[in-house]
Chain A
Amino acid sequence: MLNEFAWMVGGQQGEGIESSGDILATVLARQGYHVYGYRVFSSRIKGGHTSYRVRASTRPVRTPNEDIHLLVAFDQETIDIEGPQVVPGGVIAADSHFKPQLPPGLSANLLDIPLTELAKESGNPLARNVVAMGATAYVLSLRLEPFHDLIRDRWGRKGEEVVAQNIQALESGYRFAEENLKGLRFEVEAGDGRSRPALLGNYLMSIGAMAAGCRVMAAYPITPASDIMEYLVRKLPQYGGVVLQMEDEIAAITTCIGAGFAGARAMTATAGPGFSLMQEALGLAATAEIPLVIVDVQRAGPSTGMPTKVEQSDLMQMIYGTHGESPRIVLAPSTMEDAFYIMFDAFNLADEYQCPVIVASDLMLGVSLQTVEDEALDLSQVEWRRGHVAGEEELAAVKAGNFERYSVTASGISPRSLPGVPKGQYLATGVEHAPTGKVTENPQNRVAQMDKRARKLSSLKGGGTRYYGAEDPELLLLSFGSTFGAVEEAREALEALGKKVGHLVLRRLWPLPADELQPYLDKAEKVLVVELNSTGQLRHLVQMHMGYQEKLHSALKYNGLPFYPREIQLRAEEVMG
């Protein structure tokens, strides 16, 4: 009996691939399975091979893997491309319509099923994916009732006839599979019966931003970040907020800088190319000390790169981008839950440290569908901290025009006044300025202001890492972002083989939490830095700031696909020798 299984549907883009995956993921999530849904898509609207992979388990799953138990193929290309991933004894359910052929060497069982014909017979020729759901239910020993419920939820408002057609389509698919596979199916452990929400990381991050108090969002459409703008434009007005689609990313970030200057919590979301356009403004926010949150849903670069493929190659841009030297904070969520909570940290830190905070997401975390535990998202665990905002009382003693917005303090953090509050007037500027904000090129002042801004971040301590695994590891795996699930599975597999392996996840990339990293780096014999880029940016970052050159090794991937647990395990074994 399986306690986890994987399913995939493939076909041409625009053929209902996404809705098929979405239906199955939702049904499974409602029955108490933990689900990870991963859509492989290309930068076009119609046509081109596309697939949707659903991995479900009775235990939490946080990553896709390479095995497929049931492959639903809407075209021959799907069998040719994805077939090799089907496990021995697995099933390929292919539409008879295209006369499917198993290429030589595939050991899977072919279910030649008239998806198109059965859909026509149901009265709804478009219900091919629902017929496939019926076959899926048979092969994975899933009950049909939850599918019935979902059909009623989805199509109920279109009337009883449409519901009846879809139920007929579903049942015909089930019956056909039953009659033709004759018991060739997987027995699967039942889910725990607890329904869980299943959503994209981009959505959960949007919800986190909204809950954290973001009320102004400005962005420019870009894959794979657009979901954030599209989600917030529908929801934020209910909470008094506003979303604007701007003319470009420069306008998006500078709108947020304006809103931040005025005292709102403002955010933009983009991917690498858009983030590159924002670089100059990043320096303005840092120098004028304006709070700002930028989400970078990283994709494969450079230039246009591969817009629909994952990569973690903007790390150096996030930390060092923009001319001159300026402070910023870079945070990286690695799980769905953290995609929610990290938005609170982002907005709180932006206000407290009066600087840009960049949230380093990536395509896998952004556009994968994952189940979350309801109680894991708990607002009693969060705070809304606004930093040092000078109110009317504090400003009462100020002589008109002399408020020291950029006063040189021991912490480097100065009181901030907000437009509309009497006596707090000042000039916010990216030009070097005196404590009042007035422009000056005085050498002593220059050094005082540069040092003040840099000093701010020295008080940022703690919460930069999370650790999993053995107390005294032989090998330490170091990761950030969406590779978390794959690295964890690799660690568990190695542990099962008797290896002592630890996993340190960087939640804050900048300022690099060296004080937290050091004890782990000292203890481990070897360190394997896992990252989705070609040059080992995180490894270089650690080496540059902390040394350890002899211990550091890289596991790199940059072909556009996510890391699979097995690949990390193999690389780890290679490094351990």
Chain B
Amino acid sequence: MAITVTMADYRTAEKSWWCPGCGDFGVLSALQKTLVDLQRLPHEVAIIAGIGCSGKIGNYINCYNIHTTHGRTLPVATGIKLANRDLTVIAAGGDGDGYAIGMGHFMHALRRNVDMTYLVMDNHVYGLTKGQVSPTSDAGFITSSTPQGNLEKPVRPLELALASGVGFVAQGFSGWVPQLIEILKAAIEYRGFALVNVISPCVTYNKVNTYDYYREALTKVEDIPGYDEKDRLGALKTVMEREGLVTGILYREEGPALEDLLPGFREEPIVSQDLRFRQEDLKALLEEHR
């Protein structure tokens, strides 16, 4: 008889540290529901979380969790997936974690294309350090570190991802959980690197980019006539024209993941292989240096 996974399997007894109304609650429940819908067993899922409010997600979801140093979710997730390719690997963090301190890893993970989902909870502000400007903050946004308003242009993660050549780019909104679940299902089932940027409002430090603001401003791609998720240029044009205010699967293209290209990379996960070495192998290696 098949084991049935339920929401209870993915819950923990941990009391949340998030503020009431935080967008991350919507992301957490969407992720739990996605894993239940996909019937993934909790012990076969690894969630790699960064530093910041969003990085606490690992405390609230029962699976194998690792909470990394600030900005390093993607290389950690890369190591986990290479070591055990049978795991469902999900990296999760905030806009500061991914697009400021972790930006270097973000760009390289996009082009490296290891099979994983990267879930970014984007609230346009630093929450845990109490309200400084973030890399996705709007121009002019007033914070404790930009008292005269943000002078820098925001990072545009969707455009960067589309330009990188990665095969799955999506954006969700934590206020629209049913759509987010569909996006996350597709991302997890996608073979390769899947970026899911989730607009996840901060109710404490961002009084501009609120739920109400987004409900008004966002458009679902399914409501855009003729939108084609296979058209990279079209996706780029839509995202740029609409200032990034679109949700849904923006671009999806099937292709090999890095694991499919690595020479000698076996179906059997590295962690299950016998790691002992034979004297004959050692002898053959030394022979090359004689």
Contacts and interface: CB of A to CB of B under 8 A. Distances in A.
Contacts of B266: 240
A430 to B, nearest CB: 6
B129 interface: no
A289 B63 CA distance: 18
Interface stretch (A44-52, A205-213, A462-470): A205-213
Contact of A251 (B81, B84, B105): B105
Interface string A253-288: 011111111111110000000000000110110001
B75 A250 contact: yes
Given A264-B83, A418-B271, A430-B68, A380 B77 contact: no
A437 B63 CA distance: 12
A422 B79 contact: no
6 contacts: A238-B264, A250-B72, A261-B66, A400-B42, A420-B43, A429-B58
A251 B104 contact: yes
Interface string B258-290: 000011111011110101111101110111011
Q: Which of A216, A258, A421 has the most CB of B within 10 A?
A: A258
B35 to A, nearest CB: 13
Nearest to B277: A211
Contact of A257 (B14, B79, B263): B79
Interface in A362-421: 372, 374, 377-380, 384, 400-401, 418-421
A280 B69 contact: yes
A280 B290 CA distance: 41
Nearest to B9: A400
A237 B64 contact: no
Contacts of A258: 48, 66, 75-83
A439 interface: yes
Contact of B67 (A212, A241, A429): A429
A215 B275 contact: yes
B117 to A, nearest CB: 15
B13 interface: yes
B154 to A, nearest CB: 23
Contacts of B210: none
A254 B72 contact: yes
Nearest to B286: A197
Given A262-B80, A264-B271, A419-B84, A427 B58 contact: yes
Given A425-B42, A429-B58, A216 B69 contact: no
Closest 6 CB pairs of A and B: A258-B79, A237-B264, A213-B275, A264-B83, A262-B83, A429-B67
A39 to B, nearest CB: 16
A149 to B, nearest CB: 11
Q: Which of B13, B62, B67 has the most CB of A within 10 A?
A: B67
Interface of A: 26, 29-30, 195-199, 203, 207, 210-213, 215-216, 218, 235, 237-242, 244, 246-248, 250-252, 254-266, 280-281, 283-284, 288, 372, 374, 377-380, 384, 400-401, 418-431, 437-439
A524 to B, nearest CB: 38
Chain B contact-residue range equals 35 or more
A254 B12 contact: no
A211 B76 contact: no
A255 B65 contact: no
A350 to B, nearest CB: 13
B138 to A, nearest CB: 29
Contacts of A256: 79
Nearest to A428: B66
Contacts of B77: 258
A259 B80 contact: yes
Interface in B212-241: none
B82 A244 contact: yes
B69 A420 contact: no
Contacts of A237: 262-265
B18 to A, nearest CB: 13
B63 A425 contact: yes
B44 interface: yes
B9 A262 contact: no
A216 B263 contact: no
A266 B83 CA distance: 9
Contacts of B62: 400-401, 425
Contact of B72 (A197, A241, A281): A281
A113 to B, nearest CB: 30
A378 B80 CA distance: 32
B183 interface: no
Contacts of B12: 401, 438
A4 B53 CA distance: 67
B43 A424 contact: yes
Contacts of B276: 213, 384
A2 B264 CA distance: 49
Contacts of A288: 66-67
A242 B289 contact: no
A256 B84 CA distance: 13
